[in-house]
DNA sequence: CTGAAAGCGCTTACAG
DNA sequence: CTGAAAGCGCTTACAG
């Protein structure tokens, strides 16, 4: 009987998916028993257990997630809200999140806030109404407590959430600044993120601190901010503005990859040579930075690793709620040529795919 | 009474979300009536209608999607499976899809196949078990009919699905080839996608046809294929292989942006100058191609528009099933410098953000 | 125009 | 060890 699959062939229409009741009928037990067996709750008799499992298999049983969610009022979804679905950084984070979360039997439900507080609120509400088990949030200012375990990543809010994870932002900016100082720069401009967001503020403070540690004052108009979208266009504008100053900076630190890319376009528009006229370095490694002219020196971070750790933090909270944890992941300086360093080896060099590779690349260039 | 919000304040615990029954109790009607009113079915008396709407508002009612899905056995989700969540192209498609689909009251449920047929099958099954209303699929070979309206995008399967949308692949490759021919190239190599996939095959045929139309034969070893992931690394390898041939090609057409990027790295490794030693052009515009050295000539396509049209095709099918439609979206050649053209204007140029801008960029360069 | 009732497919105390 | 029963929150014929 289990060899010629009569159940399968005689199934009403193959259209209706199998239910617990179908299995129960096929085996001759109650739906309760089937449910319990499938959940491995109190050890059913080995005989019926076997029959139930076989029947479930035979019928291709998959529990109806909606029935389950309705009953338990929670789902196997983890909600993730990103500020921008088209940004490679967030997609790499998503990749890391998916891996970990699927391992644990969850699925990720992705929502975009488009960097707008109102859309973020809407996304959060939609997630709650979907009864997601937990939420991963890079906030754009729309956060409000929502009764679901929530961990912040990358863009965090102070004193809330059940967890928090981000990179060592201030330190990363500090590395960039110190590197420029080694090149002899003293007039360094900064293109930061939108005023008022914690992440942007932390990076700007990192910039200021690094300069102050070198006994360098920071002219107010050397500090620019981007629009709320951290857009490349606003990076371009900021670069144009900086170069119009008197005296203009001889080096620029961009607080994100898109801002750096925008700045690079701005400097080209002006016909400025990088790094001869202005050096340019970036917090965040844009895609294909190794192919730019000149290759862009940047602080690189492992977005996928951050996603994985973020998911783990959340999963831990789902298993048993505990104190809020605050995690920082390290970053790494990838020296290329936009800072003023010159290639010692041939110009060929692949994009660093890992920390090791980045180190190799770093060695390929020697400073001054 | 509707001014001091007594219901809100006296709510049991604010924890349990409001249900139809809550509204019914508050207004003094049956849940059936509430449900019908909220759906606007048969015109309820204006008086009760008002009261119901007010109460729903007051209580912050949001229908439980799981209860609804369980009852109707379909959800407000549209499933979308992408071969690679970290690829900017697919994320731009997603962006377009989201816009259209959310407009219509749906949400997108994103799944990755990681370009593997088995994971694609699993994703499809998960989507079906979630009772998604429809599916958008860029197949990696794991497609099987699943009883849900489905439209293919970008990577299509022959003779199935309820719709199909992609770019004019063969024509795009043809434009690249013709442009290289105008530069005087006769030995042109091709780095294609993985053998056996329809999209890769169409692009390769486009290549062959364009050359044959110019009475040029194609040596078999000038035709390379990538690995199954269309990875940059395999693009690099292919470029290395092509340049090791005797005689080597004087120009290379890459069938995707990642393959072009990989090829560029390969050519750098060999110390080859682009375009002096080898010209390089790409089907698909990588992010930041304008910042490359040299800026990459590429066929550009509007991924977001494709996403929007794909979603519309699917939505149409959901409204009323009809014949399968097969849509092609046009592509556009963006001439930069890797083909051998030289900049007439200053080198500064922003990444083309729209068709218009692309045209402007194109005008900035003059051929030969 | 409106209500009572059934049922979607599951889970989980509560009895036996 | 197992079954009968209730109930999660909705929708939708079916009566009135």
pLDDT at A47 over 90: no
A183 touches strand C (CB under 7 A): no
pLDDT-above-70 percentage for chain A: 88
Count of other CB atoms within 10 angstroms of residue B73: 12
- Give residue-wise pLDDT tens across range B17-73: 899 989 988 888 888 888 888 887 766 677 788 888 888 898 889 999 999 999 999
What pLDDT, on a 0 to 100 scale, did the predictor assign at position B351? 36
pLDDT digits (tens, 9 = 90+) for B346-356: 233 333 333 34
| A174: Cα separation from own chain's centroid | 22
Of B85, B268, B350, the CB nearest to A265: B350
Residue with tokens 């994100």: A256
Q: Which 3 state secondary structure label does DSSP give B3?
A: coil
Q: What global pTM score does this model have? A: 0.89
- For strand D, which residues in window 47-66 of chain A come within 7 Å by CB? 48
- Average pLDDT of A138-160? 95
Q: A225 vs A209, A239, A254, B35, B65, CA distance in Å?
A: 17, 11, 10, 50, 42
CA nearest to A233 within chain B? B350
Encode pLDDT of A260-305 as tens digits. Answer: 999 999 999 999 999 999 999 999 999 999 999 999 999 999 999 9
CB B266 within 8 A of CB B232: no
Give me the pLDDT at residue A214, please: 95
The answer to whether the beta carbons of residues A318 and A133 sit under 8 Å apart is yes
From B309's Cα to the closest Cα of chain A, the distance in A is: 18
B145: region left, alpha or beta (phi > 0 left; psi from -120 to 50 alpha): beta
Q: Report pLDDT for B50.
A: 85
Q: Average model confidence (pLDDT) for chain B?
A: 89
Burial class (CB in 10 A: 0-12, 13-18, 19+), B350: middle
Q: How large is the average pLDDT for residues A86-101?
A: 97
In this structure, are residues B332 and B176 in contact, taking their beta carbons and an 8 Å threshold? no
Give pLDDT, residue B350. 33
The string of DSSP letters for A302-350 reads: -HHHHHHHHHHHHHHHHHS----EEEEE--EEE--STTS-EESS-S--P
Mean pLDDT across B206-221 = 95
Q: Number of helices and strands (H, E) in chain B?
A: 13, 14
Q: Does the beta-carbon distance from B265 to A291 stay under 8 Å?
A: yes
Residue nearest to nucleotide C2 (CA to C1'): B33
Chain A positions in Cβ-Cβ contact with residue B346 (cut-off 8 Å): 268-269, 271
pLDDT of B15 > 70? The answer is no
**Tokens at A71, concatenated:** 């009953």
State how far residue A271 is from chain B, nearest Cα, in angstroms.
7
User: According to DSSP H, which parts of A183-253 are helical?
Assistant: 198-213, 232-243
Question: What pLDDT, on the 0 to 100 scale, is given for residue B164?
Answer: 97
* Mean pLDDT, rounded, for B145-155: 95
Mean pLDDT value across residues A38-64: 83
**pLDDT beyond 60 at B345:** no
Please tell me the least confidently modeled range out of A153-157, A306-310, B7-11, B282-286. Answer: B7-11
Cβ neighbour number for residue B214 with a 10 Å cutoff: 12
pLDDT at A6: 38
| CA B53 and chain centroid, separation | 39
SS3 B61: coil
Residues of A in contact with B127 (CB under 8 A): none
pLDDT mean over B123-131: 95
End-to-end Cα, chain A, rounded Å:
79
Give me the pLDDT at residue B51, please: 86
Whether A349 has a pLDDT exceeding 70, the answer reads: no
Residue of A98, A164, A136, A150 whose CA lies nearest to A329: A164
Give the closest residue to B286 by CA, choosing from B276, B277, B273, B295. B295
Model confidence over B273-301: pLDDT tens digits? 999 999 999 999 999 999 999 999 999 99
């Amino acid at each position: 009987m289990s060899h010629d699959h009569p159940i399968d062939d005689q199934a009403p229409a193959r259209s209706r998916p199998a239910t617990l009741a179908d299995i129960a009928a096929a085996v001759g037990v109650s739906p309760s028993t089937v449910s319990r067996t499938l959940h491995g709750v109190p050890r059913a008799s080995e005989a019926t257990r076997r029959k139930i499992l076989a029947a479930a298999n035979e019928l291709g049983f998959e529990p109806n997630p909606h029935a389950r969610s309705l009953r338990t009022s929670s789902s196997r979804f983890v909600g993730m809200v990103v500020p921008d679905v088209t940004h490679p950084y967030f997609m790499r984070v998503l990749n890391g999140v998916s891996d970990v979360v699927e391992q644990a039997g969850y699925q990720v439900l992705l929502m975009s806030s488009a960097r707008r507080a109102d859309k973020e609120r809407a996304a959060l509400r939609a997630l709650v109404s979907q009864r997601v088990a937990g939420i991963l949030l890079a906030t754009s200012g729309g956060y409000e407590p929502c009764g679901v375990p929530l961990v912040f990543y990358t863009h965090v809010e102070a004193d809330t959430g059940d967890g928090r994870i981000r990179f060592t932002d201030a330190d990363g900016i500090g590395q960039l600044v110190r590197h420029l100082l080694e090149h002899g720069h003293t007039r360094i401009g900064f293109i930061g993120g939108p005023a008022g967001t914690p992440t942007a503020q932390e990076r700007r403070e990192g910039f200021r601190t690094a300069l102050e540690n070198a006994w360098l004052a920071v002219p107010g108009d050397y500090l620019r901010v981007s629009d709320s979208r951290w857009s490349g266009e606003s990076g371009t504008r900021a670069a144009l503005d900086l170069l119009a100053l008197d005296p203009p900076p001889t080096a620029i630190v961009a607080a994100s990859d898109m801002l750096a890319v925008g700045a690079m376009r701005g400097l080209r528009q002006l016909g400025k040579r990088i790094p001869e006229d202005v050096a340019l370095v970036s917090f965040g490694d844009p895609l294909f930075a190794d192919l730019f002219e000149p290759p862009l020196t940047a602080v690189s971070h492992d977005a996928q690793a951050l996603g994985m750790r973020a998911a783990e933090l959340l999963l831990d909270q789902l298993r048993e709620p505990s104190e809020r944890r605050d995690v920082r992941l390290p970053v790494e300086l990838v020296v290329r040529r936009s800072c003023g360093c010159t290639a010692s080896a041939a110009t060929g060099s692949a994009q660093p795919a890992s920390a090791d590779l980045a180190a190799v690349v770093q060695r390929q260039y020697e400073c001054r």
